[in-house]
Amino acid sequence: MNKVYQQFSFFRTTVNPLERWLDGYDKYIRDTRGLSENTRRIYNSDVKTFGEYLNEESRDFKSLDRKMLIHYQAWLIEQAGYKRISVSRKTTALRSFYNYLRWSGELDFQNNPVSKGFRVGRKALPKPLNLTEVNRLLYAPEEDSPLHIRDRAILEILYSCGLRLSEIQQVTLEDINLPSKEILIRHGKGNDKQRFVLFGEPASQALKNYLESARPEIIAEARLRKTVSETTALFINHSGKPLSGRSIQKIVTKYSERAGLTKGTHTHTLRHTFATHMLEGEADLRIIQELMGHASPVTTGVYTSLTKQESRKAYFAHHPRANIKE
């Protein structure tokens, strides 16, 4: 998570003066709670992690509510790779920080959005898309420009492979094997071992179109503007540089809105959709675990519970004898 602390541009450019707030917050938890220097340092880092999340989501501190907090916890677990105990501590630090903002008058709100009884949910996962919604999203980039061809490939790979945001961002040209329809994931969550993920024909065609025409054209235009940098990153921006995680998320958000999908569709919405659809297709749980890079089958098992919940809901809603009392 070192990148969290290196993104100082966020702390300078955001409308929230976080650095100043953190100075006041450090004194607040020292004087009112008597926390040690080491604990204060950890709490400050926890707040900065939340700042990175807001940066990716293009949100501000004032917009925090219960739904956003659940989404943030899911982001910590699935995207940033934190264990549940660390997420619990980060939630506590965030509650303390919002107590300070309220106490100092930095933000005006009646109640702390991080309530004291709020705990880390076991199933803090976004609702998966159905097949109709997936198709609307994948075909949302209709134009034939190089960037739209790139975006189509990104969406196809996210759904076909169930990748984390950090994983698709770090894929290089050398990691792609088009003939065998495989991608080597060198950097999973934490220090996970390398793994291969698979993709089907639609994703293969989208990737081929991007690699053979769109990516070379993006690089050629960048060279004309003298902005190109030598990179082996698979997905690049208009300047020929690697796409950032924030840019990839903005692409997903852009086409989700164009497709008329629920607000809040994230890159890991597609990851959860991948897992859910694999389970619904009766794929072996161990195979899904391997493809998703889960260290434990317990993590993958969350999707089994969600699928069972949806099945139960559908059964009692639609079966003619489900609710008959004799």
3-state SS record for 256-300: HHHCCCCCCCCHHHHHHHHHHHHHHCCCCHHHHHHHHCCCCHHHH
Strand order in the sheet with 176-177: 176-177, 182-185, 195-198
Pick the catalytic residue from 48, 215, 272, 294. 294
DSSP annotation string for 108-144: --SS-SS-TT----TT--PPPP-HHHHHHHHT-----
pLDDT at position 189, please? 57
Q: Are residues 91 and 225 in the same domain?
A: no
Q: Are residues 201 and 290 in the same domain?
A: yes
Q: Are residues 194 and 293 in the same domain?
A: yes
Q: Indicate whether 251 belongs to any domain.
A: yes
pLDDT at position 53, please? 82
Q: Are residues 246 and 207 in the same domain?
A: yes
Would residue 271 show up in a list of annotated catalytic residues for this protein? yes
pLDDT at position 10, please? 39
Q: Indicate whether 89 belongs to any domain.
A: yes
Q: Are residues 77 and 189 in the same domain?
A: no
pLDDT at position 6, please? 37
Pick the catalytic residue from 40, 150, 189, 266. 189
Would residue 148 show up in a list of annotated catalytic residues for this protein? no
Q: Indicate whether 181 belongs to any domain.
A: yes
The sign of the CA dihedral 30, 69, 190, 49 is negative
In angstroms, the CA 71 to CA 234 distance is 28
Nearest CA to 166 out of 231, 248, 99 is that of 248
DSSP annotation string for 197-248: EE--HHHHHHHHHIIIIIHHHHHHHHHHTT------BSSB-TTSSBPPHHHH
Would residue 254 show up in a list of annotated catalytic residues for this protein? no
Would residue 189 show up in a list of annotated catalytic residues for this protein? yes
CA 94 from chain center: how many Å?
19
Pick the catalytic residue from 215, 266, 271, 277. 271
Pick the catalytic residue from 152, 164, 266, 277. 164
**Structural domain range at position 37:** 2-104
Pick the catalytic residue from 25, 28, 82, 303. 303
Pick the catalytic residue from 215, 268, 272, 277. 268
Would residue 5 show up in a list of annotated catalytic residues for this protein? no
* Per-residue tens of pLDDT for the chain, all 326 residues: 333 333 333 333 444 468 889 889 999 999 888 888 999 999 999 999 888 888 777 778 888 888 888 888 877 876 666 777 888 899 999 999 998 998 888 887 777 888 766 566 554 566 789 999 999 999 999 889 999 999 999 999 999 999 988 899 999 999 999 999 999 998 755 545 788 899 999 999 999 999 999 999 999 999 888 877 779 999 999 999 999 988 999 999 999 999 999 767 888 889 888 888 888 888 887 888 888 887 766 666 666 665 666 666 666 676 555 565 65
End-to-end CA distance of the chain: 58
**63: domain CATH number?**
1.10.150
Would residue 193 show up in a list of annotated catalytic residues for this protein? no
Q: Are residues 185 and 284 in the same domain?
A: yes
User: How many CA atoms, within 13 angstroms, populate the side-chain half-sphere of residue 78?
Assistant: 27
Q: Are residues 175 and 301 in the same domain?
A: yes
Tell me, what amino acid is at 203? A
| Cβ atoms 269, 166 nearer than 8 A | no
